[in-house]
Amino acid sequence: MFTEEFFPTPPDVSAKMRARISKDAQYFLEPNAGKGDLAEAIRGERGYDRKKVDCIEISPELCAILQDKDFPVVGTDWLEYDGVCYYDAIVMNPPFSNGDAHLLKAWDFLHDGEIVCLLNEETIKNPHTKNRKRLAAIIEQHGEVEYLGDCFSTAERKTGVRVALVYLKKEAEDDRLDLWANESQERDIADDIQAGNIPALMDSLGNMQHYYDAANIHMFKAFQHIRKAAIYMEANGHKYLKSDYDNILPLALENINATKAEFSKIHRNKSWHKVFSRMEFHKWLDQKQRNELIRDIDRNGNIPFTKENIKGTLQNIFEQRQRLFEQSVANVFDELTRYYKDNANHTEGWKTNDNYKINKKIIFPWGCRFDKDFRKFTTSYGSSMMDIYNDLDRVLCVMTGRNFEHCETIGEALRRKFDILGYDVKSPYDNETESRFFFIKFYMKGTVHLTFKDNADWELFNKTAAKGRAWLGQDTQSEAA
């Protein structure tokens, strides 16, 4: 993880780099982010609206550290990165051996904004290569250098390399109109009513019409392009919702970079969600894994949305689908065996369950609800119980090759029976029903008993759960005892 050229930025150097960035910069990129020391310094700066710091890092272990710190990792290899640039500033501490290549990449990548970069000072003082000569010309025209000496000699990871801090300012062509370019000085108000000034006044009014017409043309084009963008998004499976993008258009009136950043973040995240949705992951995963998947998509949803990345991601998941499913079954198993007969926290009704397998009869103490006021059964004991029912049916459908959407589930069987019983239920009452996989009994105290219809389904579930828990080949019964 810590390569020969991994040198985290010391706090005092981070402060110097931070101080060079203008106060209104909001969106940052840090290539070669390491474990995020510099990114943390920027995000934690007081008194500034630093909205976001994206990171690029080639080490998988360091990427995991960055993600744990809630930094979006938008790429791995900076020199090969071809994402969209919507950043106000790039801050970087690249490898000292080829820092010039990394800085030139940043200059070519950035549309408009600032770059602050640490380099080996030899890169600046000895411009003998093509890259170094080009960099020297860029610095001369667009920036400046501050020599920091051996500032890493007392750092977390020490080196005697003498360091230079390079600051560059890149300005794109100004897209604002210079409305007053023809005005040389203010005129006295009385001059405007002189007959001789009427042609000038007419010219001014003509300019007003020109700007008015131009505004209409560009705004109408913008509306047309927005509508086309919405059509393309719908073609990709996600509808343009005002609630998702209601802050985008107002931003466009003030800050193009901020607008691009907000739109790209939302659009890319939604696109990744749609990829996983189209793969119908709900068929493979239990509720816990689905929640983890959504969390990971939200956390990693800044990975560039390219055909190569989509293909690679789907290939990884395809190769892991059996393991994911076994883990899903194991998670359902854990929910079903959370309380067992020897557990000090056992609850009445779970005493027939074991901790190493589920028995042919599964007992839920909170499997339904009986409303004493209306004397009616309902399934509304809580979403968590319905999740367990659905997860159990879903994994059984996958194991037996059935379609979950066409399977009569435990929840559906209970609701159908409760509707038949209706209100004012009195004892004795018919407390039995059945789903695709289970004979079901329910009681007014809220207990539900599920009994497997097919011994083969019961045995297959326990065997798959044991595989997910890596218990095969172990004496689980003796362990349980």
The full set of domains in the chain, from first to last, is: 11-170 (3.40.50.150), 199-292 (no CATH), 294-481 (no CATH)
More confident: 361 or 305: 361
Q: Has residue 436 got a pLDDT over 50?
A: yes
- Which amino acid does the sequence have at 274? K
Q: Choose among 8, 118, 119, 6: nearest CA to 59.
A: 6
Helix (H) or strand (E) holding 27: strand 27-30
pLDDT digits (tens, 9 = 90+) for 135-163: 999 999 999 999 999 888 877 778 888 99
Q: What is the DSSP string of 117-155?
A: EEEEHHHHH---SHHHHHHHHHHHHHEEEEEEESTTTTS
Residue with tokens 């969106």: 27
What single-letter DSSP state applies at residue 101?
H
Q: What's the CA gap between 66 and 39, in Å, rounded?
A: 9
More confident: 164 or 49: 164
pLDDT digits (tens, 9 = 90+) for 186-199: 344 344 444 444 45
Sequence-ordered list of residues with C-beta below 8 angstroms from that of 214, at least 6 positions apart, any chain: none
Beta bridge partners of 438: 452
Instruction: Work out the angle at residue 367's Cα, subtended by the Cα atoms of residues 362 and 373, and round it to the nearest 5 degrees.
Output: 150
Q: What's the CA gap between 375 and 395, in Å, rounded?
A: 33
The alpha carbons of the chain give a radius of gyration, in whole angstroms, of: 32
- Cα torsion angle, 471, 473, 477, 481, sign: negative
Q: What's the CA gap between 37 and 53, in Å, rounded?
A: 12
More confident: 140 or 352: 140
Token pair belonging to 163: 């360091």
pLDDT value at residue 230: 76
Q: What's the CA gap between 236 and 17, in Å, rounded?
A: 41
Q: What's the CA gap between 265 and 247, in Å, rounded?
A: 13
3-state DSSP assignment of residue 363: strand
What single-letter DSSP state applies at residue 227?
H
pLDDT value at residue 144: 94
Secondary structure in 3-state letters for 254-322: CCHHHHHHHHHHHHHHHHHHHHHHHCCHHHCCCHHHHHHHHHHHHHHCCCCCCHHHHHHHHHHHHHHHH
Token pair belonging to 221: 């084009």
Q: Choose among 349, 352, 376: nearest CA to 364.
A: 349
- Cα torsion angle, 347, 351, 356, 360, sign: negative
- Which amino acid does the sequence have at 181? A
Q: Has residue 64 got a pLDDT over 60?
A: yes
Report yes or no: 399 and 467 within 8 Å, Cβ to Cβ: no
Query: Which CB contacts under 8 angstroms, 24+ apart, belong to 369-372?
Result: 369/446, 370/425, 370/444, 370/445, 370/446
Q: Has residue 227 got a pLDDT over 80?
A: no
Q: Has residue 356 got a pLDDT over 60?
A: no
Q: What is the value of pTM for the model shown?
A: 0.50
Q: Has residue 183 got a pLDDT over 60?
A: no
